[in-house]
Each structure stands twice: as C-alpha cells, then as structure tokens.
Amino acid sequence: MIVRHKAIRQLNLGRRFRCAFFCISSPFMMILGKVTLAKALILDRASGWQALIRRSTPLAICLWLLVHGQLGHAGPPTLGFMRLPQPGGGLVTVFYPSSDPELPAVQGPFRFSWAANGRVLKGNGHLVVISHGSGGSPWVHVDLARVLVERGFTVALPQHAGDNYLDPSEPGPESWIKRPSEVSRAIDVVAGSRQLGATLGFESVGLFGGSAGGHAALTMAGGKWSKRRFRDHCEAHIREDFSSCVGFFTLLKGNWLDGPKLWLAKFVIAARFSDDTVQAGFDPRIKSVVAMVPFAADFDPASLMQPVTSLGLVIAERDINQIPRFHAEAVLAACEPRCEVVMRLPEAGHGAMLAPTPPLELGSVAHHLLSDPANFDRGLLVPQLNSRIADFFLRTLAVGS
C-alpha cells in the first residue's frame, strides 16, 4: 500500500512537471493540454472530486494563462494593425503590440508587414498619438510606429479632416483649429475599444507631431496662437519663409514671376487671416509632447515659456519648408530650459519626419520641399531619431503617470 501511494505521488509530480513544461516550451500545448486533462479526469474520477481539483489545478492554470494570452508569446511583439471609425467620418489607424504573425500588406505605393486585427498584447500601458502633417497619411509614420510598438506603446493616428491624403481641401489655420479636438477624440476612440482599452491607462498619453502635426503638438503643450499672428508673420517674412505661408502651391524661382506671386499671396493671406481670436487646446491626459519641424511662427512665445506638458523638439537645420529660425528655433528660445531638444539634425530637411518617404515627382514643389539634402544619411539617422523619440516618451510618460 505504501509503495502504491508513493507511485501515485510520483505520477502526480510527473503530471505537474509535464504541465509546466508544456506551458513554457511547447507550441502545441493547447492540444496536448486538453488530452492530458481528459486523461486526468478519467483517472481521478474514482479518487473523489477533492483529489481531482488538487491534481488538475496546475494544468488548469496553465490552460487559463494560455487562453488569456499570457504564455502563448515569446520574444518581441509583432506589429498589430487595426482601423477604427472616428466621429465625424474618417478612421483612426492604430498600431499595437501583437502576438500574431505579420503578413505582407500594401497601402498605395508602400509595402509593409503587420498583423491585421491581430491579437492584442499588453505592452507598457501607454498610448502615443501621432498627428500627421498637411495632406499626410498614417503610412509615412509606420517606421516610427514600429519602434514605439517594439518599446511597448500603442500608437494611434487620427485622420485630420480636410487636411489628409484623401482630402487635402482645407490645410493651414482652419485645420490647425480642429486638430487638438481630433487628437482628443482619437484617444477616446482607442479607450472605447474593448480590445485596446483594457491594455492601456489613459492618464498619461504622449503626442508626436510633425509640421502641421507639430503645430498641434505645441498647442497641446500650452501654446496659444491666432490667425492674425500667422498673417503678421507672412506680411513681415513671406520672401524668406514663402512655403510656410503658401504651402505646396508654388515656389519662388528668382524670376519676374516672384513679384506677382508675393503680391497675390499677401493679398489672400490678409483677406483670410485677420481674426485675432486666440486659439488654444488642452487635454489633461496628454503629459508628453514631441514637435518635429513644426509650423510655429504664429505662436505667442510667452505661451510656450511654461509648457503644460513635457516638451521635446526635433530640429532639422536644413528645413526649407519651415525655416527653423522662424519656427523650431523660435520655440526653443521661448521654452528653454523647460523643454529639450530630442535630436538636432544638421543635414536634414523637412522630409526627415517621413519614414518611409512617399514617392516624390522629380521637379515638383513637394520634391523640392521634402526630398533629403545630399549629405543627410537617412539610413543611419532616422533609426537613431525614432529610438530617441521612444526613449523620450518612456522617460517622460513614466514620470507623468
């Protein structure tokens, strides 16, 4: 009898060892676990329900953890991808840590890989919103999103109404007024997702924005601006900062047409942008902001002397779309020492914020304003930049929470 009880104990120990082994190492543990559990039910029926529960507990825990996704994934997360409807039309694009395999995906001229609607893994619990530039899309920020997801973040990109790649009909100040509320609604959309909301805390959210998205980021950091300040800047500096004032419509080329272009641009700007209403935006959930190559000449510098969030800047010194001395450098002069430069790129232009870069038609205005200067080493510097942005959010959002 003693020998029999000893054998049973050894059998039970072996079962528990096998359960732990399958939980940790076997990709077929669900199938094997079900078979083992069925055998255990048959063998233990004669021993009473109390013994059954005691002997089955390790395997039951193992299977419960598997079902709930706690043991089924090892190694770095894959890039999960989903799109959620946003209020007023359009979609919020979301990238997140997933355990499902990535598959090839095509979006316009871009080729990616991600786990579309894949299972959601809990990351570091923080959301980062990316506000795209004028006429922008989610696809030119996928490289940054991937790095952020690898660090555990979930990333959401709202589609800014009237100023996106599908509808570029209303760029400039009219879009800038709406962007802060669109960022806040994107946070609400993610929080309302049953799959995503359960893995995140929303008391400490990050915001990255480039160009017009950088304008939104500075607004959410406490910056105050007005249409009249935009008009005043363009009246004073339109020749030096022409593209900031007229966008991607035309360029100054040093010929006789420059005079009529300057006159017409000033006339239109004066007629459309005389409103001196102060514009602002605030969301208490946003605790950290990175503004890259932002449009910023229309901000009251005093409003950025005491940012209401952690504030990081990315400065591309050869930006000819938003001349740094009127924009990013002016912000830095106002906010130091209560802000920091996440990265200064001496040889980079405005398009450094786009990764991957979209195809740019040779000779077009976009090619002139967004293509990389000859000495900019994109392959080396953009990965460094993305890593520094992720580091900034990891550090500042941990403090914020």
Over residues 307-318, the pLDDT tens digits come to 999 999 999 999
pLDDT of residue 400: 52
pLDDT tier at 247, thresholds 50, 70, 90: confident
pLDDT of residue 398: 87
pLDDT tier at 250, thresholds 50, 70, 90: confident
Rounded-to-integer distance, Cα 212 and Cα 309, Å: 19
Instruction: Give me the DSSP letters along 4-22.
Output: HHHHHHHHHHHHHHHHHHH
pLDDT of residue 380: 97
Answer whether 369's CB lies under 8 Å from 248's CB: yes
Rounded-to-integer distance, Cα 238 and Cα 320, Å: 13
Rounded-to-integer distance, Cα 329 and Cα 315, Å: 8
pLDDT, mean over the chain: 85
pLDDT tier at 252, thresholds 50, 70, 90: confident
Judged against a pLDDT cut of 70, whether residue 241 lies above it is answered with yes
Answer whether 300's CB lies under 8 Å from 224's CB: yes
pLDDT tier at 96, thresholds 50, 70, 90: very high
Judged against a pLDDT cut of 60, whether residue 198 lies above it is answered with yes
Query: By percentage, how much of the chain surpasses pLDDT 90?
Result: 73
Judged against a pLDDT cut of 80, whether residue 287 lies above it is answered with yes
Of the two residues 99 and 76, the one the predictor is more confident about is 99
Ramachandran angles phi, psi of 94, nearest 5°: -125, 130
pLDDT of residue 5: 41
| 309 closest CA partner among 229, 220, 238 | 220
pLDDT of residue 399: 65
pLDDT of residue 43: 35
Query: pTM of the full predicted structure?
Result: 0.81
Rounded-to-integer distance, Cα 133 and Cα 244, Å: 13
pLDDT of residue 274: 87
pLDDT of residue 356: 96
Judged against a pLDDT cut of 80, whether residue 32 lies above it is answered with no
**Which residues, other chains included, contact 121 with Cβ-Cβ below 8 Å and sequence gap of 6+?**
69, 73, 77, 80, 96, 97, 98, 99, 199
Segment 292-306 shows an average pLDDT of 97
Q: Within its chain, how far is the Cα of 385 from the centroid?
A: 14
299 Ramachandran zone, left/alpha/beta (phi>0; psi -120 to 50): beta
Classified as helix, coil or strand, 316 is: strand
pLDDT of residue 75: 74
pLDDT digits (tens, 9 = 90+) for 58-80: 444 444 444 444 444 557 899 99
If residue 131 lies in a helix (H) or strand (E), which one and from where to where?
Answer: strand 127-131
Judged against a pLDDT cut of 70, whether residue 29 lies above it is answered with no
Rounded-to-integer distance, Cα 228 and Cα 370, Å: 27
**Which residues, other chains included, contact 314 with Cβ-Cβ below 8 Å and sequence gap of 6+?**
210, 290, 291, 292, 293, 328, 341, 342, 343, 344, 345, 353, 385, 389
How do beta strands 154-157 and 127-131 pair? parallel
**Which residues, other chains included, contact 74 with Cβ-Cβ below 8 Å and sequence gap of 6+?**
none
Answer whether 76's CB lies under 8 Å from 33's CB: no
pLDDT of residue 401: 53
Segment 296-300 shows an average pLDDT of 96
Rounded-to-integer distance, Cα 164 and Cα 279, Å: 21
Judged against a pLDDT cut of 60, whether residue 28 lies above it is answered with no
Segment 284-306 shows an average pLDDT of 97
Question: Would you state the structure tokens that stand for residue 395, as one six-digit string?
Answer: 């550090």
Judged against a pLDDT cut of 60, whether residue 3 lies above it is answered with no
